[in-house]
Each structure stands twice: as C-alpha cells, then as structure tokens.
Amino acid sequence: MAESISPEKDDSGIEVSVQRLRSLIQDFLLTYLREKSRETVGTYRRSLNEFERWFVRGKSTCRFRTSDIEEYKTYLMEERGLHEVSVSTYLTAVRRLCQYMTDTGLLKDNPARAVKGNKRPSTHSRRFLSQPDVDRLISSLPTSGEIEKRDRAIIYTMLFAGLSEIEIVRADLQDLEQTLMGWYLRIQGKGHTLKDQQVPIDPLVMDALRLYLDMRGRIRPEDPLFVSHGHRSDGQRLNTRSVRTRINHYLKKAGIKREGISPHSLTHTAALLWLSDGMSVEDVRQRMRHGTLDTTMIYFRQQGFLEQ
C-alpha cells in the first residue's frame, strides 16, 4: 500500500516519514533543479543531507511547520555551531524544498519562508590585494618557461579580467573570440550549465594569453585554454586544485600571502582595480556578473568610497 501524506490543520503541518522525506528530496533534486549545474545540485544535496540527519534524530517531530524550521535553525547555530553563511545556505535549501512541496500540493504554504537566514556579512571574508601587493605579485612573475607563461596568464585573467578559478578551468580555446568591440571569453559561471556569459578580455590580459598560447605549438579550438605541462599529465585540462596551488606559490614568493589572502582574492581585487580606474558601479556589476547592485556596493565600501 502506497504511503500517504496526511494534511492536518494549518497549525499542525503534515506527517512525513523518513523514507518519504528521502523520496521528496530525491524528486526535488531531479525535477525542481533539473536545469541547474551539477555543482549547484551537489550543494543542495549536501545541505539537505544535514536536514535529513536532523530529521532522523527524532528528538522532535518535524511536521513542516514554521516552528519546526525555526528549531532546525537553532540546531544549526547552537548544536552544530555553524558559521552564519553556512546556516543561511542550509536554510535556503530547506526553503526551496518546502517551496517544491508547496508547488506540488503537499503543503498549503511554505513554512520556511518566515524563517530568515542570518544576515550575511557586509564585507567579503576574503581580503583584497592592495595596489602595492598587486605590483609585487606582477613583478615577481617569471616569463621564461611554458609553465611560467601559463601561470602568468592565469593570474592576469583573474586579476585584470575578474575570472574565478572554476571559470578558468572550464574555458576552451574556442571560447576566446574577437569582435569589433575587442576580445571576449565565453564562460560557464558558477551555477550555470551553459557558457552563456561573455567576459571582456582587455589588451593587457590578451597579451599574456598570446605569450602562453604561442608556446603551446599546434592547438585545436576544442582544447582547454589552460592545460597541465607535467610529464604525466601533459595536455590535460587543469583542475581548480592545481590553479590554487600555483597561485598560492606566487603569493608566497611575492611575500603577500597572509591571513585572508587566497587565490580567490585576485578575482575580488579586479573589481577594486576597476573602481580605482574610474569604472562605474554598473559596469563593475556587469563585469563581475553580480546579480544585484548590493553585492557590488561591497567593493565600494571596501575601497572607502562609502562609509560602512
């Protein structure tokens, strides 16, 4: 006999077994997130695994009421001791799951909508490179060998084009296009399944890319833009771990590796460099692919253009 979910009064929620919850999560991941990238689905799956672990404990009966979601939030904050950003991420996953249950008629209203995530920090946790830091990093980069030219091109695309590590490793040669307006790189951003965004590649970055690509010899359009040049992995696409390792090497070499400075700091620094050069906040938002101006305004505050 098929298991049923019994709607109760609005303040009583619904009864869901552990087995049914797992089925709902699986259906949510397969159908509600079918157009999302594998990375995004993976993030939701890991977040909902935490919710399932809490659900299975049985210390309280979760009937998908607002009070239940509040209790889950308290568990994340007090028992798990998670960072406020992690708590917000886990609550977002539960909120989306509840919306799926609402859209399919299992819930009358989304009980998680009223449970707000913790306020996200008004500044990025990853610190930025100062102009002297940038100067020291650039001046420390060698240009003699194939690996060195590749690493220099990677750092330039992050620092002066604002690309992230994942966007760099996903890029192919055929994604680099010249138009009447200049050079662009088609990218597949975080959470996207297609290369549906274009990033301007300024002459400074393009020169670094040319120096590297000219050394690779015969290359095909479908080849990765950046590849390994090791003996065992020569020609294979770089992964994000390799990119981070190489950039950390140069940060340490330049003497600017410190707490808060990571390879991803280069991507955030790009926005500050553009702002310092007089680029408008709207242009910076577009180049950084920010969804809202609020995110871009963080860079203004960090640069001191606005009071905190």
Q: What is the mean pLDDT of residues 74-92?
A: 82
CA dihedral 32, 38, 44, 49 (to 10 degrees): 110
Can you say how many angstroms the Cα of residue 216 is from the centroid of all Cα atoms in its chain?
Answer: 30
Range of lowest pLDDT (17-21, 49-53, 75-79): 75-79
pLDDT at 260: 82
For 207-228, the pLDDT digits (tens) are 999 999 999 988 999 999 999 9
At residue 45, does pLDDT exceed 70?
yes
The reply to whether 18-103 and 131-303 are identical in fold is no
At residue 10, does pLDDT exceed 50?
no
Fold annotation for 131-303: hpI Integrase; Chain A (1.10.443)
Backbone angles phi, psi at 137, to 5 degrees: -65, -50
Q: Where are the domains of the chain?
A: 18-103, 131-303
The larger pLDDT score, comparing residue 122 to residue 224, is at 224
Range of lowest pLDDT (17-31, 36-50, 159-173, 202-216): 36-50
Q: Give Cα separations from 77 to 84, 124, 136, 223, 231 (angstroms).
A: 8, 21, 41, 46, 47
Q: Which long-range contacts (CB under 8 A, 24 or more apart) does 67-70 make?
A: 68/13, 68/111, 69/94, 69/98, 69/111, 69/112, 69/115, 70/115
Q: Which long-range contacts (CB under 8 A, 24 or more apart) does 13-17 make?
A: 13/63, 13/64, 13/65, 13/68, 13/111, 14/63, 14/64, 14/106, 14/107, 15/63, 16/62, 16/63, 16/64
Q: What is the mean pLDDT of residues 96-100?
A: 93
At residue 122, does pLDDT exceed 70?
no
Domain 18-103 has CATH 1.10.3470: no
Predicted confidence band of residue 192 (pLDDT cuts 50, 70, 90): low
pLDDT at 306: 38
Percent of the chain with pLDDT over 70: 84
Predicted confidence band of residue 307 (pLDDT cuts 50, 70, 90): very low
Where do we find the tokens 């960072």? 83
CA angle 292, 296, 298 (to 5 degrees): 125
For 157-175, the pLDDT digits (tens) are 999 999 989 899 999 999 9
Q: What does pLDDT average to over the chain?
A: 83
